[in-house]
């Protein structure tokens, strides 16, 4: 019995030490997931912004596009300045002065949002020019001339509304003619109004969908 007592004491101390180690490990393992859960569920501190949006002319204050079009022979663009039969004999045939039918068209659209903060950021200005060039008489004369005809354009103001609606005011002046076309052009001349004539409109535009980009 005297020999067994030291062995029992060593065994008892060993069991106690093992139990204590196990409890400590279990406590650490229990605390770690709790801390991890707390870390995962606690939102990170809000990052300090690098800088507020500029009040005037923010980085994305303009947007637009430009386009070049070529109208093949027998498909000329008609800005409605000359009669469709302007090359008829009674108007002068191949030498008729009213040859304002376009071979080339350069068009575009620019939207400007110059204010980056306050409710005024919803304000937008737009400008849509359309330049016409050519010298053609349908059925009589087809050339590749770059002779200037005029600029047809419209401009206006827009205001963003909720649910992707937009209020727009549009002004469309008469066509601004170039060079020799800035005068009456014989008996086939229809007047200076050009396409659509002069008008002003108040409207509402609705945007929908997302434009798909064809690039990688």
pLDDT digits (tens, 9 = 90+) for 159-184: 999 999 999 999 999 999 999 899 98
Whole-angstrom Cα distance, residue 132 to residue 77?
8
Is the pLDDT at 96 greater than 70? The verdict is yes
| Whether residues 28 and 101 fall in one domain | no
Structure tokens belonging to residue 174: 């008469």
Residues 176 and 84 in one domain: yes
Host domain of residue 84 = 62-206
159 SS3 class: strand
pLDDT, tens digit, 9 for 90 and up, residues 32-45: 444 444 434 444 44
Task: Looking at the structure, tell me whether residues 72 and 132 fall in a common domain.
Answer: yes
Average pLDDT value for the chain: 81
Q: Is residue 43 part of a domain?
A: no
User: Tokens representing 71?
Assistant: 């109208």
Half-sphere exposure of 45 (CA within 13 A, CB side): 3
142 and 190 both lie in a single domain: yes
What pLDDT is stored for residue 57 in this prediction? Answer: 81
Q: Flag whether 140 is in a domain.
A: yes
Count of structural domains within the chain:
2
pTM of the entire structure? 0.71
Distance, C-alpha 152 to centroid of its chain = 22
- Which of 70, 76, 68, 63 is CA-nearest to residue 124? 63
Instruction: Give CA–CA dist 93/189, Å, rounded.
Output: 14
Q: Which two tokens stand for residue 98?
A: 């009213």
Say yes or no: 197 and 135 in one domain: yes
Same domain, residue pair 117 and 20:
no
Q: Same structural domain for residues 12 and 86?
A: no
């Amino acid at each position: 019995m005297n020999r067994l007592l030291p062995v029992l004491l060593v065994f008892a101390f060993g069991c106690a030490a093992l139990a204590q180690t196990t409890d400590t490990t279990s406590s650490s393992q229990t605390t770690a997931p709790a801390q991890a859960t707390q870390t995962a569920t606690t939102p990170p501190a809000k990052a300090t912004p690098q800088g507020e949006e500029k009040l005037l002319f923010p980085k994305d204050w303009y947007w637009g596009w430009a386009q070049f079009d070529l109208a093949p022979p027998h498909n000329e663009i008609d800005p409605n300045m000359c009669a469709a039969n302007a090359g008829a004999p009674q108007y002068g045939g191949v030498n008729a002065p009213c040859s304002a039918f376009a071979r080339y068209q350069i068009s575009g659209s620019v939207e400007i949002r110059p204010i980056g903060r306050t409710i005024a950021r919803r304000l937008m200005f737009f400008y849509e020019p359309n330049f016409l060039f050519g010298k053609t008489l349908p059925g009589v004369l087809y050339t590749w001339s770059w002779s200037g005809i005029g600029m047809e354009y419209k401009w206006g103001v827009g205001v963003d509304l909720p649910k992707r609606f937009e209020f727009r005011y549009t002004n469309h002046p008469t066509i601004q003619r170039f060079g020799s076309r800035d005068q009456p052009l014989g008996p086939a001349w229809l007047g200076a109004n050009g396409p659509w004539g002069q008008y002003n409109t108040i409207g509402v535009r609705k945007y929908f969908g997302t434009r798909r980009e064809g690039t990688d």
